[in-house]
Chain A
Amino acid sequence: MNYNYGNNLRNNYNMSNMNAMNTWSDPTQQLGFVGVQNENEARAFPVALGASVTFRDESQPNTFYTKTMGNSPLERPIFEKYRLVKEEAPVGASDATETAPSAKDIDLSIYALKDDLKAFEGQIVELKKELSALKPKKKVIREVEVEDDE
C-alpha cells in the first residue's frame, strides 16, 4: 500500500503550479517579444529612457516592431517596422556539394581521350600527304613557232 500517494500527487501539483507561475511571471523574457494587436498599440507602449522593446504583431505573424527611447524624455522615440521573409532555398556550404554534378552523373561516352585524339591527328596528316600526291600536276603549254614553207 502506497501511503505517500497523496503526497506525491500534491508535490506534483505544486511543482506544476510553480512551473506555470514561473512561466507566467516572465513570459516576455522567455520569448523576448511583447505581443501587440497592431502598430498603434506598439507605438503607444511605454518604454523606459534608454531602453528598447521589440514587439510581435499578433494579427500579422511576420511583422515585428521595435521602439527605442533616447536618454531624454524630450527626444522622440525611434520606431521601426520589420517583416520576416522566409527563404525557400536553403543557404549554406552543403548546397554546393549537393548541386554540383558528381562524376557518376556525367556521360563520359561523349568524350575522347587525349591519346586517341593524337592518334587521329597523325592519321589526318598522312591522309593529307596521300591526297596531295594524287592531285594532277599542272600542264605547261609551250608556244611553238611553226615555219611556213610556201
Chain B
Amino acid sequence: MMNNVPDLITMVQQIRQDPVGMLSKRFNLPANLPKDPQEIIQYLLNSGQVSQAQVNNAMQMRKMFMK
C-alpha cells in the first residue's frame, strides 16, 4: 500500500472531500451515529477499535496543531 502513491493521493483527496464518509467506511460507523467528533471517538472506544492511549495522544496532538 505504501508503494502505491496514486492510491494514497486518491485516498487523501477523498478524506478531504468527505472525512466522515471515509471514517464511516473504514471503522464501520453506524448510520444513526451523530456526526460529532466526540460521539465518533466514544463509539470507536466502546467498540474497541481504538485504545484510550491512542485517543489521548490524538487529542494532545490536535491541541498542539490547533495552537
Contacts and interface: CB of A to CB of B under 8 A. Distances in A.
Interface secondary structure of B, over-half rule: helix
Interface of B: 38, 41-42, 45-46, 51-53, 55-57, 59-61, 63
B38 A34 contact: no
A35 B52 contact: no
A45 B59 contact: yes
A49 B61 CA distance: 23
Contacts, number: 37
A28 B46 contact: no
A117 B60 CA distance: 78
A40 to B, nearest CB: 12
A78 interface: no
Nearest to A33: B56
A26 interface: yes
A127 interface: no
Given A46-B38, A48-B51, A34 B56 contact: yes
Contact of B63 (A24, A35, A44, A51): A35
Nearest to B53: A29
A47 B60 contact: no
A35 B45 CA distance: 20
Given A34-B59, A44-B38, 10 more contacts: A26-B53, A29-B53, A34-B60, A45-B59, A46-B38, A46-B42, A49-B45, A49-B46, A51-B45, A51-B52
